Amino acid sequence: MHPKALLDSCAELVALVLRFDHPADAIVSRYFRQHKQLGPRERATLAETAYNVLRHKLRFESLARSGQGPRERRLAILGFHGPRDFLKSALSDSEKQWLDACDAVPPEAWLPQHRHNLPDWLADALRAQVGDAFEALAASLNEPAPLDLRVNVLVAKRADVQRELAEAGVRAAPTPYSPWGLRIEGKPALQKIEAFRRGAIEVQDEGSQLLAWILDAHRGEMVVDFCAGAGGKTLAIGAMMRNTGRLYAFDTSAHRLEALKPRLARSGLSNVHPAALAHERDERVKRLAGKIDRVLVDAPCSGLGTLRRNPDLKWRQTPQDVAELVTKQAAILESAQRLLKPGGRLVYATCSVLPEENEAIAAAFSERHPEFEPLPVAEVLRGLKLAEAEALCTADGRFLRLWPHRHHTDGFFAAVWQRRG
Ligand SMILES: C[S@@+](CC[C@H](N)C(=O)[O-])C[C@H]1O[C@@H](n2cnc3c(N)ncnc32)[C@H](O)[C@@H]1O
Q: What is the ipTM of this complex?
A: 0.99
CB-based burial label for 345 (10 Å; 0-12, 13-18, 19+)? buried
318 and 364 both lie in a single domain: yes
60 and 170 both lie in a single domain: no
9 and 154 both lie in a single domain: no
195 and 249 both lie in a single domain: no
Domain that holds residue 160: 147-202
217 and 352 both lie in a single domain: yes
Distance 336 CA to ligand 1 centre (A): 12
Residue 133 lies in a domain: no
Distance CA 72, CA 126 (A): 29
Residue 302 lies in a domain: yes
Alpha helices in 131-231 (DSSP H): 134-141, 158-167, 194-197, 206-215
- CATH number for 211: 3.40.50.150
What pLDDT is recorded for position 192? 87
Q: What does DSSP say about strands 340-350 and 412-419: parallel, antiparallel, or unpaired?
A: antiparallel
Residue 325 lies in a domain: yes
Distance CA 114, CA 388 (A): 35
192 and 230 both lie in a single domain: no
Q: Tens of pLDDT along 74-105?
A: 999 999 999 999 999 999 999 999 999 999 99
Distance 253 CA to ligand 1 centre (A): 8
What pLDDT is recorded for position 189? 86
Distance 279 CA to ligand 1 centre (A): 11
267 and 378 both lie in a single domain: yes
Spell out the residues 6+ positions from residue 128 whose beta carbon is closer than 8 angstroms to its own: none
194 and 215 both lie in a single domain: no
232-240 helix and 254-267 helix, angle to the nearest 10 degrees: 40
Residue 125 lies in a domain: no
Q: Tens of pLDDT along 322-347?
A: 999 999 999 999 999 999 999 999 99
Residue 322 lies in a domain: yes
Counting from 1 in the atom list of ligand 1, the atom nearest the Cα of 301 is 1
What pLDDT is recorded for position 50? 98
- pLDDT confidence of 191, banded at 50, 70, 90? confident
Distance of alpha carbon 82 from the chain centroid: 25
Q: Tens of pLDDT along 269-286?
A: 999 999 999 999 999 999
Asked if 352 contacts 401 with a C-beta cutoff of 8 angstroms, the reply is no
Distance 145 CA to ligand 1 centre (A): 22
Residue 289 lies in a domain: yes
Distance 334 CA to ligand 1 centre (A): 15
Q: Tens of pLDDT along 122-155?
A: 999 999 999 999 999 999 999 999 999 999 999 9
Alpha helices in 169-220 (DSSP H): 194-197, 206-215
179 and 223 both lie in a single domain: no
What pLDDT is recorded for position 186? 86
Look up 10 and say whether it is catalytic: no
Residue set of the binding site: 251, 298
Distance 108 CA to ligand 1 centre (A): 42
- CATH number for 160: 3.30.70.1170
For ligand 1, atom 25: residue with the closest CA: 253
Distance CA 334, CA 368 (A): 9
Distance CA 178, CA 160 (A): 16
Candidate from 214, 250, 252, 317 with most ligand 1 atoms within 8 A of CB, to mutate: 252
What global pTM score does this model have? Answer: 0.96
187 and 235 both lie in a single domain: no
Q: Domain end: 117, 139, 164, which one?
A: 117
Q: Tens of pLDDT along 386-396?
A: 989 999 999 99
Distance of alpha carbon 10 from the chain centroid: 25
Q: In what order do the strands lie in the sheet with 147-151?
A: 172-174, 181-184, 147-151, 201-203
- CATH number for 105: 1.10.940
What pLDDT is recorded for position 1? 84
Residue set of the binding site for S-adenosyl-L-methionine: 251, 298
**Average pLDDT rounded to a whole number, residues 375-400:** 95
Alpha helices in 80-119 (DSSP H): 84-88, 93-103, 112-116
Distance CA 278, CA 224 (A): 16
Q: Domain end: 177, 202, 227, which one?
A: 202
Candidate from 178, 226, 251 with most ligand 1 atoms within 8 A of CB, to mutate: 251
- In order, the DSSP letters of 319-363 are HHHHHHHHHHHHHHHHHHGGGEEEEEEEEEEES---GGGTHHHHH
Asked if 205 contacts 191 with a C-beta cutoff of 8 angstroms, the reply is no
CB-based burial label for 69 (10 Å; 0-12, 13-18, 19+)? middle
Q: What does DSSP say about strands 272-276 and 246-251: parallel, antiparallel, or unpaired?
A: parallel
Exactly one of 102, 227, 301, 351 is catalytic; name it: 351
* Pocket around ligand 1 at a 6 A CB cut-off: 208, 226-233, 250-253, 256, 277, 279-280, 298, 300, 332
What pLDDT is recorded for position 421? 85
Residue 127 lies in a domain: no
Distance CA 170, CA 193 (A): 9
Distance CA 177, CA 166 (A): 21
Residue 268 lies in a domain: yes
Asked if 150 contacts 202 with a C-beta cutoff of 8 angstroms, the reply is yes
292 and 328 both lie in a single domain: yes
Q: Tens of pLDDT along 45-54?
A: 999 999 999 9
195 and 210 both lie in a single domain: no
Distance CA 329, CA 245 (A): 27
Number of domains in the chain: 3
Distance CA 171, CA 215 (A): 30
Distance 81 CA to ligand 1 centre (A): 33
Q: Domain end: 202, 226, 245, which one?
A: 202
Q: Tens of pLDDT along 27-69?
A: 999 999 999 999 999 999 999 999 999 999 999 999 999 999 9
